[in-house]
Chain A
Amino acid sequence: MKLRTKIFLTASLIILLTTITGLLLLNDRISNRIEAEISNDLIKTEALFNTLIMDRTILLSTLAGNIADLPVLKAALKTDAATILIELNEYSNSNEDVELFVVVDDQNKMVTPLMVDNPDPEIDLEESIALNIDRTISKTGFWLLNEKLFLIATSPIMIDGSIEGVLVLGDCINDEFSIILKDLTDSDISFFTEDKITASSFSDSGEIRNNLYKELISYDEDMDTRVFGENEYNLIRLFLNNENHIAKTGELTDWFESKYILSRPLSKEMEVLSYIRQVIFTLAAGIVILSFILSLAISQRITRPINCLVEGTREISEGKYDTKIDCSSSSQDSKDEISILTIAFEKMRKKLKENIEKITGLNKELLDKNVELEQAFEDLKKAQDDLVKAEKMSTVGKMASSIVHDFKSPMQVIKGMTQVLQMPNIDENKKNDMMRYIDEAVDRMNQMTMDILDYTRGKTNLNIDKVKLSSVINEILLYLSNDLQSNEFKVIRQSDFDPEVEIDIQKIKRVLENIIRNSIEAAQKDNTLELKTEQDNGFVTIEIKDNGPGIDPDILETIFEPFVTRGKSQGTGLGLSIAKKLIEDHNGRISLDTEPGVGTAFIIHLPYVS
């Protein structure tokens, strides 16, 4: 989720919660206020109600006092009650209309006829009145007579200083009474006595009364005290006639259970409240929408430099170091954290760019150096090639010089001998000798040219014959017997193994001759030449060993290379290198073992026919 979205959502959530909380508080407060207003109103109504009751009580009391003091009443008390009644009726009618007019004598016996309907004949009304009179010392109050509630006032009837009877005046608190009070207080009034609705200003439909009764008894004592708003009132909610009512109750008297209920419907206030709520909610919706827009703008404003920074960072990560990171908002000098971060980042980018440029420079230098190095390497390679070429040339030169040098001796033989032959007085025998020397020199020169050709030709064509190895050795020893004898060689032969070999006989003879001639040339005194054949690991070995001076360690390593000689005038220096080459052409190998002053042994390995 993008930062911007996060900020937007957070701000929106906060605004939403605040608005809802505010609305709830406001709604609550308005409701409380309205309820408080109604409560105040009801309390005022109650006060008015109390005043009205009090006024009526005083009126009744005054009236009772006045009537009790009438001489006609005093006289009637002793005579005829009916007369009294008639007269007093006239009196009372002229003053106030009272429902109850009772006179009792000093025995508490009623002397006036009962004017109240008695629905239950079982109850002794007379006794009930007598009981009430005893209690009603205070002279005013409420009486319950025959399940009807009365507001009464009593007055003693005094004759000659002694109480001869009591006058009781009373208003029946009935529906009419309630309606009168409603007209005066602008509030419905009901009376609840001894588990019954005894009177009510509500129209006499049993349904409302039943509901009221149910509602009232559903409140237990604790619930009687209900808290509305901030103040504590004895208010209860009633639901009557599909309408919410608010009601105030109060006790009428301590003698029996009796309550008055002042109630008002809430419909008018509810309308007002609902209208106010509508206004509030419309406003709230407006505020929320406005806040969303604002938070959107704010989130954009907060996230813009961050986004700019993110964009800059991305560019750097992609290797674009040239774009300046400039996220300064309209307020240039704002030094918030993001600005500081941006400045730091811009510094970092510059530094990075410098370093990258430095590295690039170094890299380029390195590349240049590399090119130089490659050039140097090329030069070196060329130089090496030149050197190799020169070496080759030197080899060719060395070879040419060696060949020229080696030809010098036989050339000298031929030239010198022909000149000596032309001299006078030469002995015939000597002449023959000289001819022979010339002949031999030519042979040697021929041999040398053959060697050179063999060496330079590459792989030799071999004429393979199958032959016993010993016969080849015998032939070469026979061929060299003169040279060996003249150099006083003792030849020792040992043949433990004499297989058939497939070889070019002439070539192998050349090899053996070359090696044996080397021994002859190095001959000293008491010369021996040992020839030994043995089997060795699938090969036959021919060992040719002399007791000569051995080979100089200086040339030992290069002994099989061309033009390495021990200084002799008669060879090309190719003898051993040709020998090595020929043996290798036969899939064999040649090696040597030498010790200065002791002798030299050449060992040839050749494959044989099994």
Chain B
Amino acid sequence: MTQKRVLIVDDVEALRKQAIYSLSLIYPNASFIEAENGYKAIEKIIKFKPDLILLDIEMPEMDGIGVLERIRRSRDKKINSLPVIMFTGTVDKNVVDKILKLNVSDYLVKPFEIDTLLKKVDKFLTPEQK
């Protein structure tokens, strides 16, 4: 059984740590990779080929939508079909429409319950990992 890899992309360190601390309790065998902006995220996706990406939308330089677009545009089938759960501080309809069009797996609006995050992640990580 291969180890599941989760990439967490957020410019706020506390939010990355929050996800890692909570998820690592549920999925102790999974490995977590961090990226604090869009460019670093792209590098790490190519390098580590994660199984799931938690992606914040509001970031400097390249934002979450930019990263999602690149993922979906990739010719690598493993990459362009990656499941992506997004975080956003806004409930702007345009933003939501845009990410749904880009085939986002799911999204969470801040501030959200950690339980909700865990439930959404659960769909993409097998129970064997528990």
Q: Which residues of A contact B (CB under 8 A)?
A: 401, 404-406, 408-409, 411-417, 419-420, 423-426, 430, 433-434, 437, 440-441, 521-522, 524, 549, 565-570
* Minimum CB–CB distance for A205 against chain B, Å: 158
B48 within 8 A of A: no
Known: A419-B113, A567-B63. A413 touches B18 (CB 8 A): yes
- B18 touching A569 by the CB < 8 A rule? no
- A419 touching B89 by the CB < 8 A rule? no
* Minimum CB–CB distance for A148 against chain B, Å: 170
Chain B contacts of A569 at CB under 8 A? 10-12, 56, 58-59, 89
**A73–B14 CA distance with the chains assembled, in angstroms:** 211
**A506–B14 CA distance with the chains assembled, in angstroms:** 27
Chain A contacts of B63 at CB under 8 A? 567
Q: Can you name 23 A-B residue pairings with CB atoms under 8 Å? A: A404-B89, A405-B58, A405-B90, A408-B89, A408-B110, A408-B111, A412-B15, A412-B110, A412-B112, A416-B114, A419-B114, A420-B21, A420-B22, A423-B25, A430-B21, A437-B13, A437-B14, A437-B18, A441-B14, A565-B60, A567-B63, A569-B10, A569-B89
Closest residue of chain B to A407 (Cβ to Cβ) is B89
**A433–B12 CA distance with the chains assembled, in angstroms:** 14
B91-130 vs A: 1/0 string, CB under 8 Å?
0000000000000000000111111010000000000000
Main SS of the interface on chain A? helix
- A568 touching B17 by the CB < 8 A rule? no
**A441–B59 CA distance with the chains assembled, in angstroms:** 17
Chain A contacts of B59 at CB under 8 A? 567-569
Query: In residues 33-79 of chain B, which contact A (Cβ within 8 Å)?
Result: 39, 56, 58-61, 63
**A405–B109 CA distance with the chains assembled, in angstroms:** 11
Interface centre among B21, B113, B114, B117, by most chain A C-beta atoms within 10 angstroms, is B21
Closest residue of chain B to A570 (Cβ to Cβ) is B12
- B114 touching A413 by the CB < 8 A rule? no
Chain A contacts of B10 at CB under 8 A? 569
Chain B contacts of A434 at CB under 8 A? 17-18, 21
Interface centre among B12, B56, B112, by most chain A C-beta atoms within 10 angstroms, is B12
Chain A contacts of B117 at CB under 8 A? 416
Chain B contacts of A411 at CB under 8 A? 110-111
- B22 touching A416 by the CB < 8 A rule? yes
**A437–B10 CA distance with the chains assembled, in angstroms:** 14
**A406–B88 CA distance with the chains assembled, in angstroms:** 11
* Minimum CB–CB distance for A432 against chain B, Å: 12
**A417–B90 CA distance with the chains assembled, in angstroms:** 20
- A433 touching B17 by the CB < 8 A rule? yes
- B12 touching A426 by the CB < 8 A rule? no
- B61 touching A409 by the CB < 8 A rule? no
- A416 touching B60 by the CB < 8 A rule? no
Closest residue of chain A to B38 (Cβ to Cβ) is A567
**A108–B118 CA distance with the chains assembled, in angstroms:** 211
Chain A contacts of B110 at CB under 8 A? 408-409, 411-412
Chain B contacts of A426 at CB under 8 A? 21, 25
- A568 touching B58 by the CB < 8 A rule? yes
Interface centre among A404, A426, A567, by most chain B C-beta atoms within 10 angstroms, is A567
**A411–B115 CA distance with the chains assembled, in angstroms:** 16
Closest residue of chain A to B14 (Cβ to Cβ) is A437
Known: A567-B61, A567-B63, A569-B59. A416 touches B18 (CB 8 A): yes
Chain B contacts of A419 at CB under 8 A? 22, 113-115
**A521–B113 CA distance with the chains assembled, in angstroms:** 28
Pairs A-B, 3 closest by C-beta atoms = A408-B89, A437-B14, A419-B114
Chain A contacts of B39 at CB under 8 A? 524
Q: Among the listed B21, B89, B112, B115, which residue makes an inter-chain contact with A405, where contact means beta carbons less than 8 Å apart?
A: B89
Chain A contacts of B114 at CB under 8 A? 416, 419-420, 423
- B17 touching A437 by the CB < 8 A rule? yes
